[in-house]
Structure 1
Amino acid sequence: MSNKDVLPPGTILSERYEIVKRLGKGGMGSVYLAKDQRLSNTLRAVKQMVVEFIDMDQYTKAIDDFRREAEVLASLDHPAIPSIYDYFIQEGYYYLVMKCVAGKDLEQMLEATPGGIIDEKRVTQWGIQLCDVFQYIHSRNPPIIYRDMKPANVMYDEEANRIYIIDFGIARFVASSQANVTAIGTVGYAPPELFIGMVTPATDIYSLGASLIHLL
């Protein structure tokens, strides 16, 4: 991502969202902290997709993933899944406005923990909360498979003592009859069958187990 793509503080998006600062960046773009000027400057997370791809196929896939995230989040209502408030395109960039989750992701917490081992009781509590999330999305009709469960995709809000699953960009609805789904996941957390296109709710459970073991 080039400097020209970085939104400076004070930038106004969609005549409504004032950028405060950049919170982080990933392969598809950046996430910003913004104030919603129409709702008493309530803080929101604004995810920006920056289109920097080699060919049209990559461009199309990135847009599809971004739209899928908006579609998936808009269909869900669970306390551990950040709510989506808005979705828009401005000057060729795609934006997703979501609940702002304070805190660190579990990967960051692990790195900051002496010895690289988090307390078993705390990890167990997180595991129970995550099981509840997956039970919820897997019980949808058709089921939603997250496909990229790993510590870096789970935020922990210490004040609320609650975890949030973030980055639904590659989650998708999968019908029971659907096969050969595109294999996307993270090596070390994804089950072997994911890489040959076999995707079921068990995919997420395997990755959840691998993530919890990593934290311990």
Structure 2
Amino acid sequence: MYSNKQLAGAADEAKAHIGYIETDPNGRYGLFEEVLGKGAMKTVYKAIDEVLGVEVAWNQVRLNELMRSPDDLQRLYSEVHLLSTLKHDSIIRFYTSWIDVDQKTFNFITEMFTSGTLREYRKKYRRVDIRAIKSWARQILQGLVYLHSRDPPVIHRDLKCDNIFVNGHLGQVKIGDLGLAAILRGSKSAHSVIGTPEFMAPELYEEDYNELVDVYSFGMCVLEMFTCEYPYSECANPAQIYKKVTSGKLPGAFYSIQDLEAQRFIGRCLVNASKRLSAKELLLDPFLASDEVKLLSKTKLNQKPFLNETELEKLQLSDDPPRTDMTITGKLNPEDDTIFLKVQIADKDGPGRNIYFPFDILNDTPLDVAREMVKELEITDWEPFEIAKMIDEEISVLVPHWKKREWPHPEAYHTFNYEEDEDGYHHPLYSFPSCSSSQASLPGLVTYDHDWLKGQGSNNSFRFLR
């Protein structure tokens, strides 16, 4: 039998082999070293749900630190318990929790967000269309409607862009960090001053408030989405913020918003509680509703490709792009029946080139010669068989008994193998064939007084290797 120590050691080795730092008691979730975020109370790591194959967030709190503050411990338990009861697309999803007695940690698993907090995301991507901001606002409001519609209602009390999380590849935002949330019972009002000063409604300081404080905080979130700065950033300390909030003075950033509809919408969230709309009513605001209809009509009904037929015609696209201008002509020497071929290549940026080479009708084939031409002259836009066909036609004109070949259609041709065979390359571009009847006369051909073969100009070349 194995001892507990041996079993624990074997388990640790297995975790290390997989790459986990630790696993949950049931072995379903594996914790990695990568830290997703760190706050005052907890550290969030990347983890994997082995059952679903989904990446998740492993939230871990050191109990030693929490035990020093009973309030913090109570806050943590409240968050976990509340999360376990909430099921909504705009609220962070909770999976499970447990206490690790040996490590003295409290752990709970939630869904993972790929792009961090909305504040981080907005600072990273400053050029965001107003339609994206409206989409985020709608999602957050839908989450608030869900929280406030529960029986009894739930108030977040610390809503801010730092507590809203983003899946950037989906354009999805969700409300998280419900550690300060309160459940309204009985009198339907809460009585503790808690939250982040820049986002706290005036009535919070009076210790008598309801779920409308979240609507006020939501307005400040939208303000931050537009301006990319914290509300009341002009204030040096919380006391200055408190003075402005309680006297009804709006943040300086509010007046920097150029879109008047957006400014009006935010202003409706920041009025006194007696005049403030609920989250459910704000969802019906024309600022959000009208844009949603327009966006749907544009993206679903009238979406057009960027390149329409007229624009494509302007581009003058062609299936066959311009190719190298190349011609091949042949010349028969009547004295010894040797054949010379001249390849004329017109260069784009300068005078053309003339390349001369012999063709041995006894040992050479048009395709062999064409393959060597493609390789030697670095021709990339002609297939060897196309060049071979041109050579074949020239030879058939010069030699009446030459038997023309049937050449494949371009679509049927693919690639050629230029690998050297056992005997090495055998082609007149490199050497003269040993059994050619024209071999003895070829040196003379170069010096014959034929205008065609003299090669006037510096761009003429003879592909002879002695």
- Do they superpose with TM above 0.5? yes
Pairwise CA distance, 1:209: 0.3
Q: How far does residue 151 in structure 1 lie from its aligned partner after superposition? A: 0.8
Distance 2:66 2:165 in 1: 31
Q: 2:106 aligns with which of 94, 106, 120?
A: 94
How far the C-alpha of 1:55 sits from its partner, in A, is 7.5
Residue type matched to 2:35 in 1?
A: R
Taking the aligned partners of 1:197 and 1:47, their CA distance within structure 2 comes to 31
Count the aligned residue pairs. Answer: 204
For the residues of structure 2 that align with 1:54 and 1:161, how far apart are their CA atoms? 35
- Measured after TM superposition, the shift of residue 208 of structure 1 is 0.1
Listed as ranges, the matches of 1:6-85 within 5 Å are 10-15=20-25, 16=27, 17-20=29-32, 21-37=34-50, 39-51=51-63, 53=65, 56=68, 58=69, 60-85=70-95
Residue deviations 1:62-97 (CA, integer Å, cap 9, x gap): 111111111111111101112211110003211111
State the partner residue of 1:3. Answer: none
- Is the CA contact 2:117–2:163 (under 8 Å) kept in the aligned structure 1? yes
After TM superposition, give the deviation of residue 10 of structure 1 in Å: 2.0
Name which structure has the greater RCO, CA cutoff 8 Å, separation 6+: 1
Of the structure 1 ranges 137-146 and 76-85, higher mean CA displacement relative to structure 2 is found in 76-85
TM-score w.r.t. the length of structure 1 is 0.85
Instruction: Report which stretch shifted further, 131-140 or 187-196.
Output: 187-196
Alpha-carbon contact 2:182-2:190 (below 8 Å) kept: no
What are the within-5 Å matches in structure 2 for residues 43-192 of structure 1?
A: 43-51=55-63, 53=65, 56=68, 58=69, 60-90=70-100, 91-114=103-126, 118-177=128-187, 179=189, 181-192=191-202
Give, in whole Å, the separation in 1 of the partners of 2:53 and 2:121.
Answer: 29
Checking the alignment, whether the CA contact within 8 Å between 1:180 and 1:196 is kept in structure 2 is no
The CA RMSD over aligned residues, in Å, is 2.2
Give the share of equivalent positions with the same residue, in percent: 24
Structure 2 counterpart of 1:210: 220
Q: 1:54 to 1:101 in 2, by over 3 A?
A: closer
**Preserved contact between residue 146 and residue 171 of structure 1 (Cα < 8 Å):** yes
Q: Normalising to structure 2: TM-score of the pair?
A: 0.41
How far off its partner does 1:179 sit?
4.9
Flag structure 2 segments of 5+ consecutive residues without an equivalent.
1-15, 227-466
**Matched residue type, 1:28:** M
**CA spacing shift, 1:54–1:151, aligned 2, 3 Å:** closer
With over 3 angstroms needed to count, the CA separation of the structure-2 counterparts of 1:110 and 1:136, relative to structure 1, is: same
Q: Which residue of 2 aligns with 1:196?
A: 206
Letter in 2 for 1:127: A
Partners of 1:110 and 1:31 in 2: how far apart? 21
